[in-house]
Amino acid sequence: MGDLRLRLNQTQRVRLEAALHELQTLAAAAAAAVTFADNIPVNPEDTILKGHGTSDQDGEVVATVCGVVERVQNLVCVRTLRARYKPQKGDIIIGRVSEIASKRWRLETNFSQGAVLMLSSMNLPDGIQRRRTDIDELNMRSILEENDLVCAEVRHIQHDGSLDLQPRSQKYAALQRGQLLTVPAYLVKRRKQHFHHLEQYDADLILGCNGFIWVGEHVAVDEGTNLNEDQHKLSMEVEAFTPLETRRHICRLANAVRVLSALGFTLTVELIIQTAEASLSSHVEISDMLGAEFYVQTAEREAKRRADLSRRMNGPR
């Protein structure tokens, strides 16, 4: 919220401050938040394992960072609310090709270290599984070229911290006809599913763990067809056109992500769809979604949703 810059009138400012205060109150009640040097209450009879963000001082567990206390059996750690992206094996990320090297592509992934996608991990255009030759290396730009967007999975983290990637799916190997959004990585939580097909919008949504989010036209791949080169070029020309209505849906979903990110809300597919649907039901134009009034409405709507959820969980008083 510190990076949010809006031109608010007095009424909108009061409404936004009230909604944010309600959200902070609910967040403090839902989680055990600690600051630096706070004592973390533990049972002295239990064998406690001190994890990240904790330290032992005079027999007490003390927080060394600001964040939320998390407990997994006997392990106690503190998860920072705002942190840079720290990759883990199996993460779904989105990268941009920055360089083509020997039998590999180097990618920019919003991480301090580099990332590499090997030629051997990519499917060749002919679809035949075989050893990669020097001819394949010369034709690497026919698969991916500089500035292309790729959705990949972290296969391995090298000793120097660089990432070894593999394409998560050949369907999403190269991303086209959409928008790439950059948000703070801590707003995207690791989940079982990061690929989402939004049928009502005919769009694909990919939430990258590294803070790159892709909103684009839905890609349908029919693996049972085998087209020759002329038929393939013709089909590519036809598919290169994105319908106007789909473009509007992509822009609306992208603006929903921008609004939620600016407000500091954790990005989930449910919340993104609810925000887009709210703009449609309120007859808000796509360009007006980035206006001050819609920001205030989104904050009020989320505060009401979390308050209702808290009441249902705690029961009537």
Residue 105 Cα distances to 91, 134, 210, angstroms: 18, 15, 18
Residue 137 Cα distances to 130, 146, 149, 166, 168, angstroms: 13, 15, 19, 17, 21
Token representation of residue 6:
């809006």
Question: Can you tell me the mean pLDDT for 171-185?
Answer: 85
Q: Is the pLDDT of residue 228 over 50?
A: no
The amino acid sitting at 46 is: D
Q: How far is CA 165 from the centre of its chain?
A: 17
Separation of first and last alpha carbons in the chain: 32
Token representation of residue 213:
């989010």
Question: Can you tell me the mean pLDDT for 173-187?
Answer: 89
Q: Is the pLDDT of residue 207 over 90?
A: yes
Confidence of residue 171 (pLDDT cuts 50, 70, 90): low
Q: Is the pLDDT of residue 222 over 80?
A: no
CB within 8 Å of 25: residues ≥ 6 apart:
none
Residue 224: the pLDDT is: 42
| Cβ 63 vs Cβ 54: under 8 Å | yes
Residue 260: burial class (beta carbons within 10 Å; 0-12, 13-18, 19+): buried
* Signed CA dihedral, 282, 284, 286, 289: sign only: negative
Q: Tokens 């998390």 appear where? A: 70
What percentage of residues in the chain have a pLDDT greater than 90? 36
Question: Can you tell me the mean pLDDT for 89-96?
Answer: 91
Kind and range of the H or E element at 309?
helix 292-314
Residue 268: the pLDDT is: 92
Residue 317: the pLDDT is: 47
Q: How far is it, in rounded angstroms, from Cα 59 to Cα 44?
A: 9
CA nearest 278: which of 293, 249, 256? 256
Residue 310: the pLDDT is: 79
Confidence of residue 29 (pLDDT cuts 50, 70, 90): low
CA nearest 93: which of 80, 106, 81, 111? 111
